[in-house]
Amino acid sequence: METVQNQTVLITGASSGIGFELARLFARDNYHIIMVAHHVDKLDHAAWQLQSEFSNVRLNTIAIDLSKDDAPSRLFNHVQQQGWQINVLVNNAGFGEYGLFAESNLEKELAMIHLNIIALVHLTKLFLPYLLNQGSGKILQVGSVASFTPTPLQSVYGATKAFILSFSEALQEELKDSPVSVTILCPPATDTNFFNVAGAQNSKIAQGDLATPEEVASTAYKALLAGDKRAVPTFKAKIQVAQSAILPDALNATLMHKQSEETTKPKKSSSKKTSTTTVVSESAALPVTEAPAPVTATRKRSTKSSSVTNLDSAAASVAAIDPTIAATGLTADNLTASNTEAIPTPASKPKRSTKKTQ
Ligand SMILES: NC(=O)c1ccc[n+]([C@@H]2O[C@H](COP(=O)([O-])OP(=O)(O)OC[C@H]3O[C@@H](n4cnc5c(N)ncnc54)[C@H](OP(=O)(O)O)[C@@H]3O)[C@@H](O)[C@H]2O)c1
């Protein structure tokens, strides 16, 4: 199906929050959207929601843990194999980890560095020459107001966002005479799943005045299409950025520390543990899956309950065309219903004996 604009956008972290709202804006303008995120069921649900709202939009979903070393290459190769011509890359996937660095979760922080920095650099490395060759293209890099200040209690997160700002501003200079633009989005604290994943839901910042993902995405979308260098949504965030530029870093750090403290005494809560499991442990086990064909607009909500089965069954089709790829417990029976595929990571590749049982 041809889109009105005949343009394709690939959005990482498109299953919720800012990424999902960006996908919605691209859908409204009838882009072909490739939605990338980690967890299959959530992504499947997001695609269903979008397709319900925009029945004619062309959607593909790819579930992949981008914190893994080879994930960006596998994603890029897959996009190439499918023949999708990307016009816009949105590097949005990211998460944080809350707590004193001496006590916070190293495994989660290393995965965060992999996702927020390494995957973003790697995807940019792969897609930028491609866009340059194509003669046009746009890249949105999702930083933060935290890109401009040290962030005590989210020390690693803030550092990853500072990296994104520095890296992307360098690219803007290198690309200033090129047909490819790089826009940096610097959202303020926004009402998404971010604080739950970071374990920061009790922090003053999370319980304060939050921007909506819709307004953040709207500012980002306009700036991206205009080829602007920077998008800072909300007046408050603009003040924050200006303040960070004026004040010495040590003072910025003190102010940020105060804002980030917990409002109630820490129940160093179970939610933090839960989020760690979600982001780190599950990530190691999840396969890379793709739903290459659109989720139909008529798809009933009830099919969602079987989305895992459908995705699993789709994995069988990939296993069938690539003998090096197999998936556990799969049948191809539901393939038509879900139109999903799976490309398991090398780590999750099942043993031969499993495949024989298919
Ligand atoms: N919310 C804020 O206050 C705020 C402020 C400034 C900047 N930001 C930035 O905005 C971006 C979007 O965050 P959000 O606020 O919209 O949070 P969100 O609702 O939690 O969305 C995060 C997205 O990233 C995906 N993701 C997480 N880990 C992944 C992995 N290993 N591989 C692939 N995808 C992964 C998530 O998919 P799964 O759920 O499947 O993992 C989800 O789609 C992030 O870069 C964040 O740092 C947020």
What confidence tens digit (pLDDT) does each residue in 73-126 have? 999 999 999 999 999 999 999 999 999 999 999 999 999 999 999 999 999 999
Residue whose CA is closest, atom 23 of ligand 1?
Answer: 13
Q: What is the whole-number distance in angstroms between the Cα of residue 323 and the centre of ligand 1?
A: 33
Is the CB of 60 inside a 6 Å radius of any atom of ligand 1? Answer: no
Residue 6 has a pLDDT of: 87
Residues 6+ apart with CB under 8 A from 275: 196, 197, 198, 199
Residue 15 has pLDDT above 90, yes or no: yes
Pair type for strands 180-185 and 230-231: parallel
Residue 299 has pLDDT above 80, yes or no: no
Closest CA to 338 of 300, 293, 279: 293
Is the CB of 202 inside a 6 Å radius of any atom of ligand 1? Answer: no
Q: What is the whole-number distance in angstroms between the Cα of residue 74 and the centre of ligand 1?
A: 20
- Residue 175's CB: how many other CB atoms inside 10 A? 17
CA–CA separation, 33 and 86 (whole Å): 9
Which of 122, 192, 256 maximizes ligand 1 atoms within 8 Å of its Cβ, making it the mutation to test the pocket? 192
What is the percent of the chain with per-residue pLDDT over 70, rounded to a whole number?
Answer: 72
Is 35 within 8 Å of 43 (Cβ atoms)? Answer: yes
Task: Report, as an integer, the average pLDDT of 19-44.
Answer: 98
Tokens 């390494």 map to which residue?
Answer: 118
Q: What is the whole-number distance in angstroms between the Cα of residue 19 and the centre of ligand 1?
A: 7
Task: Report, as an integer, the average pLDDT of 285-310.
Answer: 35
CA–CA separation, 63 and 314 (whole Å): 13
Strand order in the sheet with 88-91: 230-231, 180-185, 137-142, 88-91, 8-12, 32-37, 59-63, 288-291, 341-343
CA–CA separation, 147 and 96 (whole Å): 13
40-44, 129-133, 156-160, 333-337: least confident range: 333-337
Is the CB of 18 inside a 6 Å radius of any atom of ligand 1? Answer: yes
284, two tokens: 């190691």
- Residue 37's CB: how many other CB atoms inside 10 A? 26
Residue 290 has a pLDDT of: 44
Residues annotated as part of the active site: 157
65-69, 102-106, 285-289: least confident range: 285-289
Q: What is the whole-number distance in angstroms between the Cα of residue 117 and the centre of ligand 1?
A: 13
Q: Which atom of ligand 1 is nearest to the CA of 68?
A: 31
Is the CB of 95 inside a 6 Å radius of any atom of ligand 1? Answer: yes
Residues 6+ apart with CB under 8 A from 346: 70
**Residue ranges of domains in the chain, CATH in brackets:** 8-284 (3.40.50.720), 300-356 (no CATH)
Q: Where are the alpha helices (DSSP H) in 135-234?
A: 155-174, 194-198, 204-207, 213-226
The one-letter code for the residue type at 141 is Q
Is the CB of 15 inside a 6 Å radius of any atom of ligand 1? Answer: yes
Strands (E), the chain: 8-12, 32-37, 59-63, 88-91, 137-142, 180-185, 230-231, 288-291, 341-343
What confidence tens digit (pLDDT) does each residue in 166-220 have? 999 999 999 999 999 999 999 999 999 999 999 999 999 999 999 999 999 999 9
Which of 11, 18, 114 maximizes ligand 1 atoms within 8 Å of its Cβ, making it the mutation to test the pocket? 18
Q: Which atom of ligand 1 is nearest to the CA of 67?
A: 31
292, two tokens: 């290459």
Largest interatomic CA distance in the chain: 64
Exposed / middle / buried, residue 288 (Cβ in 10 Å: 0-12, 13-18, 19+): buried
